[in-house]
């Protein structure tokens, strides 16, 4: 029951959740590379999340997970 | 041609499912968890496939048709951000506890952790009740898709035939091969709907002059469809959509898949690849749905995705789409009914009186019979259910999201007590019934008092508060949790 999870992945999750709220550009209807700019932003968020998770798996894996 | 392609695909699914039976070891753990031997790739495909339902394929494109590309953020990127972290935290911890103590179901975990029989019974009842509307998404989605693909209302095959087909095929391979068949078929089905989805997307968008041209036209004719501001969201409302994917952490079928993993390392691929796969499915689904507004002005009679495929591609691709839609539906339905069978077998049959007196294979048969009865009920309900797939799904997901604080505390918070867990579950039940009853006055409404704030944004904090407050007000557990 003792948690062996580091804290920084939780902070990374909170940062990604904050980045989800791109309210400053919600009214923007421009297209970027043929895609609505807000849609492109959120696709980019998905890709960024993948990189963060790769770091979590590499450096934030719980010590006793594989026991 | 559509039916021929679909029939070929279903035959392939049955073949793989029945092959899985050849490796069946005859034990309950093998039937329900494939003896905990699932590796990284199959785990990724099966966990992802389980979460991709008719809700994703048909519901998302339908919602994008009504609201525009904002749907990608509401249900796509919010899921991509949250779900991998749920797998990282809850999946690994649940797997560890399950392996150590031989758990097969969530109810076993909760009973073991809190030592409360009544709490387990309460959780069983709530989870089964929430699974019915969630199962309905798949059963109803299969019927709607087959009807639209064969000509639409009044012309195509009646919806009940598609619903019956989905139920029958899924039941056969799940009841015959258990988790192993389910996992293998899920891996195939996830591959199929990603592959066919991309093929269909390219074909349809080519007919529209390409994605950029379609979005440009959409911007000119329906500006609100390409800007998120069209819905006048507030930060709070938008944030409430990040809460809904919490439901994933409380799904009984996902819990089963977690426990079927060979090792904790098996989770790594699923954690990393999940967001990209989400984007790969939701992007085409949402942009096709939004672009559908250009070709099919409202009112719409049938799923927009199906109408776009049928209108813009040949019959073979339409048949492939049918296979893809059925793949998405069955890859969720099989896991759901297997999890229900496991719950009935372990939490009811074995727990109440038959432990040690009934052979394991007989206990598995009880699970199969329960699943058959439950599927029959879902099929019957699909004949009379009138709400859209999206609305049905959202309410089921809301209930599961409300259960997440209790599960998280069960795994990570030693001070959580049985009273705290029970009060959390009862808070979810009470608020869920209240909000659902309130929504009936406005067809399909999913907001509190018309504010735009989703009920899940109230239910999850309330369930958390109730859990914490009641746990602190009651004596601490004798042994601080599972050691």
Q: Is the pLDDT of residue B249 over 80?
A: yes
Cα(B18)–Cα(B14) distance, rounded to whole angstroms?
A: 6
Q: Which domain holds residue B370?
A: 2-389
Q: Which domain holds residue A51?
A: 8-59
DSSP assignment, residue B451?
A: S
**Phi and psi of B480, rounded to 5°?**
-60, 70
8 A C-beta contact, residue B289 and residue B60:
yes
In what helix (H) or strand (E) does residue A36 lie, and over which residues does it extend? strand A35-36
Q: What is the pLDDT at residue B364?
A: 74
Minimal Cβ distance to A29: which of B78, B210, B223: B223
Cα dihedral B281, B284, B290, B296 in deg (nearest 10): -110
Across the interface, whether the CB atoms of A13 and B81 are under 8 A apart is answered yes
Mean pLDDT of B440-446: 66
Cα(B366)–Cα(B355) distance, rounded to whole angstroms?
A: 13
Mind listing the pLDDT tens digit for each residue in A4-54? 889 999 999 999 999 998 888 888 888 998 899 999 999 999 999 999 999
Report if residue A15 sits inside a domain: yes
Report if residue B424 sits inside a domain: no
A49 to chain B: closest CA residue:
B81
- Tell me which residue of B3, B422, B32 sits closest to B256, measured CA to CA: B32
Q: Is the pLDDT of residue B361 over 50?
A: yes
Most confident of A41-55, B314-328, B354-368: A41-55
Across the interface, whether the CB atoms of A53 and B88 are under 8 A apart is answered yes
Rounded to a whole number, what is the distance in Å from the CA of A15 to chain B's nearest CA? 10
Across the interface, whether the CB atoms of A36 and B69 are under 8 A apart is answered yes
Report if residue A36 sits inside a domain: yes
Across the interface, whether the CB atoms of B272 and A16 are under 8 A apart is answered no
Across the interface, whether the CB atoms of B72 and A43 are under 8 A apart is answered yes
Mind listing the pLDDT tens digit for each residue in B258-277? 998 999 999 999 999 999 99
Mind listing the pLDDT tens digit for each residue in B120-176? 999 999 999 998 888 887 888 888 878 877 777 777 788 889 889 889 888 888 887
Report if residue B428 sits inside a domain: no
Mean pLDDT of B336-358: 81
Cα(B19)–Cα(B188) distance, rounded to whole angstroms?
A: 13
CATH for B100: 1.20.1730.10
Beta-bridge partners for A35? A32
8 A C-beta contact, residue B372 and residue B222:
no
Mind listing the pLDDT tens digit for each residue in B453-473? 788 989 999 999 999 999 999
Report if residue A66 sits inside a domain: no
Q: What is the pLDDT at residue B229?
A: 66
Q: Kindly report the average pLDDT of chain B as a whole number.
A: 84
Mind listing the pLDDT tens digit for each residue in B39-92? 888 888 888 888 877 667 777 888 889 888 988 988 889 999 999 999 999 999
Q: Is the pLDDT of residue B207 over 70?
A: yes
Most confident of A43-47, B102-106, B220-224, B317-321: A43-47
Q: What is the pLDDT at residue B240?
A: 78
Using an 8 Å CB-CB cutoff, list chain A residues near B276: 46-47, 50
Using an 8 Å CB-CB cutoff, list chain A residues near B483: 1
Q: In the block, which residue shows the tokens 């059925």?
A: B326
Strand, helix or coil at B153?
Answer: coil
Using an 8 Å CB-CB cutoff, list chain A residues near B283: 39, 43
Q: Which of B18-22, B219-223, B231-235, B245-249 has the lowest mean pLDDT?
A: B231-235
Q: What is the pLDDT at residue B327?
A: 78
Interface with A, mutate which of B95, B272, B413, B478 (most A CBs under 10 A): B272
Q: How many domains are contained in chain B?
A: 1
Report if residue B452 sits inside a domain: no
Using an 8 Å CB-CB cutoff, list chain B residues near A49: 80-81, 84, 275
Q: How many domains are contained in chain A?
A: 1
8 A C-beta contact, residue B71 and residue B63:
yes
pLDDT band for A1, please (50, 70, 90 cuts): very low
C-alpha neighbours within 13 Å on the C-beta side of residue B148: 23
Rounded to a whole number, what is the distance in Å from the CA of B156 to chain A's nearest CA? 35
Report if residue B396 sits inside a domain: no
Q: Is the pLDDT of residue B309 over 90?
A: no
Across the interface, whether the CB atoms of B227 and A29 are under 8 A apart is answered yes
């Amino acid at each position: 029951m003792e948690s062996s999870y580091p804290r920084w992945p939780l902070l990374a999750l909170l940062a990604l959740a904050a980045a989800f709220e791109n309210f400053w550009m919600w009214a923007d209807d421009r297209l970027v590379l043929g895609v609505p700019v807000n849609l492109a932003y959120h696709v980019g968020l998905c890709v960024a999340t993948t990189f963060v998770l790769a770091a979590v798996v590499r450096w934030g894996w719980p010590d006793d997970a594989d026991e | 041609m559509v039916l021929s392609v679909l029939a070929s695909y279903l035959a392939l699914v049955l073949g793989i499912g029945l092959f899985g039976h050849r490796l069946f070891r005859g034990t309950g753990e093998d039937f329900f968890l494939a003896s905990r031997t699932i590796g990284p790739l199959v785990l990724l495909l099966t966990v992802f496939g389980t979460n991709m339902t008719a809700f994703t394929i048909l519901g998302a494109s339908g919602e994008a048709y009504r609201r525009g590309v904002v749907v990608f953020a509401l249900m796509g990127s919010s899921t991509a951000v949250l779900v991998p972290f749920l797998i990282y935290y809850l999946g690994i911890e649940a797997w560890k506890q399950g392996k150590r103590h031989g758990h097969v179901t969530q109810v076993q975990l909760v009973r073991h952790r809190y030592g409360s029989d009544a709490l387990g019974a309460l959780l069983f009842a709530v989870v089964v009740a929430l699974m019915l509307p969630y199962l309905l998404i798949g059963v109803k989605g299969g019927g709607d898709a087959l009807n639209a693909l064969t000509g639409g209302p009044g012309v195509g095959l009646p919806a009940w035939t598609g619903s019956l087909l989905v139920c029958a095929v899924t039941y056969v391979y799940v009841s015959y091969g258990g988790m192993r068949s389910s996992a293998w078929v899920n891996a195939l089905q996830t591959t199929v709907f990603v592959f066919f989805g991309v093929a269909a997307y390219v074909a349809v968008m080519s007919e529209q002059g390409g994605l950029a041209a379609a979005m440009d036209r959409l911007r000119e004719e329906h500006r609100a469809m390409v800007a998120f501001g069209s819905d006048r969201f507030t930060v709070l409302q938008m944030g409430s959509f990040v809460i809904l994917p919490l439901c994933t952490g409380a799904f009984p079928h996902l819990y089963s898949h977690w426990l079927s993993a060979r090792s904790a390392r098996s989770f790594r691929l699923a954690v990393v690849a999940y967001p990209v796969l989400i984007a790969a499915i939701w992007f085409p689904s949402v942009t096709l749905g939004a672009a559908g507004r250009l070709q099919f002005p409202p009112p719409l009679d049938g799923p927009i995705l199906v109408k776009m495929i049928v209108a813009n591609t040949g019959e073979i691709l339409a048949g492939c789409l049918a296979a893809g839609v059925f793949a998405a539906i069955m890859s969720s339905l099989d896991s759901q009914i297997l999890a229900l069978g496991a719950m009935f077998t372990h939490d009811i049959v074995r727990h109440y009186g038959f432990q040690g007196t009934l052979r394991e294979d007989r206990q598995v048969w009880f699970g199969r019979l329960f699943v058959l009865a439950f599927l029959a009920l879902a099929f019957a309900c699909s004949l009379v259910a009138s709400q859209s797939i999206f609305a049905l799904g959202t309410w089921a997901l809301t209930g599961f999201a409300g259960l997440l604080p209790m599960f998280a505390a069960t795994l990570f918070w030693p001070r959580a007590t049985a009273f705290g867990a029970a009060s959390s579950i009862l808070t979810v039940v009470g608020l869920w019934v209240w909000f659902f009853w309130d929504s009936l006055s406005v067809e399909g409404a999913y907001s509190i008092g018309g504010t735009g704030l989703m009920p899940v944004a109230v239910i999850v904090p309330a369930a958390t508060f109730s859990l914490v407050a009641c746990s602190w007000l009651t004596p601490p557990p004798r042994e601080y949790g599972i050691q």
